[in-house]
Amino acid sequence: MNKPDFTLEKIKYSTDSPTFQKAIKLYESGKVTQVEEHIRSYTAVVIGTEPYHVFVEDRRHDYGHCDCYLGQRDVLCKHMVALAIYVVKNGEPLTEEDKKQFTAPICSGKTGILNDSVLHETKKAISKAVSYIKPYNGPSRTWFYYQNSLSEGCNRLSTIISILPVSEQSASLIVDLLLRLDKKLSIGGVDDSEGTVGEFMEKTVEVLLDFYKLDQNCIRSFKKLKNRETCFDWEKPLLDLTRLN
Ligand SMILES: [Zn+2]
């Protein structure tokens, strides 16, 4: 079977957690059957409540069709995602790493410093993730893809943050990221009316508060946030800390 343009990483970051987890169950219990490759697309019969006929294009896992209730309404369903997983894994078992999804940032709980090359890679990964958080200028029918792009960016960032060692160095990276996102929301034309990016930023601030508990030096990176106009005062808990200290 030819490899599609999408990867497991892509599927994982751009699918909401319940749908991804249900798709994994379908895949692992052998419910994806009769997989066939066509020109630039794949089809299968996925056994759910009924056997569903699923079609996915090879350029994007969310371009396709399924005859289940959701699929008929053009919603990305677990059957399409299950077929997409089958195609990228070629029917092979999923590893624990494959199945792990960070949909919100958490604190790694370990202190440490990134070496130069890891720091460089991390900055590159952050920039790539931030590029998914882009301005909205499409018609309303692309709203789903737009919102999906915002959550993909936030999921990618959540994964990056969740494995960062706690230090002033990482705290400073995160503070810079928050300022970058703030700018995108304030003047960058990002339409976050569903609150995806805002919620991610709030959770990221909580991660920084956890950082401070493990390494008080992190507070030095929060000082950068003084005297700034931000889009929704997300920096307040961090500034409150700098005032106390
Ligand atoms: Zn379906």
- Domain residue spans in the chain? 8-99, 116-244
Question: pLDDT digits over 185-242, tens only?
Answer: 999 999 999 999 999 999 999 999 999 999 999 999 999 999 998 999 999 999 999 9
The residue to which tokens 């919620």 are assigned:
199
How far, in Å, is the centroid of ligand 1 from the Cα of 13? 19
Least confident range of 126-130, 216-220, 241-245: 241-245
Q: How many CB atoms are closer than 10 A to CB 169?
A: 19
Alpha-carbon 89 to chain mean position:
20
DSSP one-letter code for 22: H
Main-chain phi, psi angles of 187, to 5 degrees: -130, 0
pLDDT category, 7, cuts 50, 70, 90?
A: very high
For residues 120 and 67, what is the distance between their CA atoms, to the nearest angstrom? 45
How far, in Å, is the centroid of ligand 1 from the Cα of 54? 7
Q: Which amino acid is at 56?
A: V
How far, in Å, is the centroid of ligand 1 from the Cα of 70? 6
Strand ranges (DSSP E) for the chain? 32-38, 41-47, 51-57, 64-66
Structure confidence at residue 1 (pLDDT): 82
How far, in Å, is the centroid of ligand 1 from the Cα of 53? 8
Burial class (CB in 10 A: 0-12, 13-18, 19+), 111: middle
The pTM of this model reads 0.87
3-state SS class at 101: coil
For residues 45 and 111, what is the distance between their CA atoms, to the nearest angstrom? 48
Show Cβ contacts of residue 25 under 8 Å, excluding neighbours closer than 6 positions: none
Question: pLDDT digits over 63-119, tens only?
Answer: 999 999 999 998 899 999 999 999 999 999 999 999 988 889 999 999 999 999 999
For residues 116 and 129, what is the distance between their CA atoms, to the nearest angstrom? 20
By the 8 A CB rule, do 83 and 46 touch? yes
Residue ranges in 163-188 assigned as alpha helix (H):
168-187
How far, in Å, is the centroid of ligand 1 from the Cα of 51? 10
How far, in Å, is the centroid of ligand 1 from the Cα of 37? 18
By the 8 A CB rule, do 32 and 83 touch? yes
How far, in Å, is the centroid of ligand 1 from the Cα of 72? 8
Structure confidence at residue 5 (pLDDT): 95
Hey, which of 59-63, 70-74, 168-172 has the most confident mean pLDDT?
168-172
How far, in Å, is the centroid of ligand 1 from the Cα of 199? 29
Question: pLDDT digits over 136-165, tens only?
Answer: 988 766 888 899 899 999 999 999 999 999
CB burial readout 6-20, b (16+ within 10 A) else e: bebebbbbbbeeebb
How far, in Å, is the centroid of ligand 1 from the Cα of 17? 16
How far, in Å, is the centroid of ligand 1 from the Cα of 48? 8
Is 80 exceeded by the pLDDT of residue 245?
A: no
How far, in Å, is the centroid of ligand 1 from the Cα of 79? 4
Nearest to 36 by CA among 14, 58, 19: 58
Question: pLDDT digits over 24-58, tens only?
Answer: 999 999 999 999 999 999 999 999 999 999 999 99
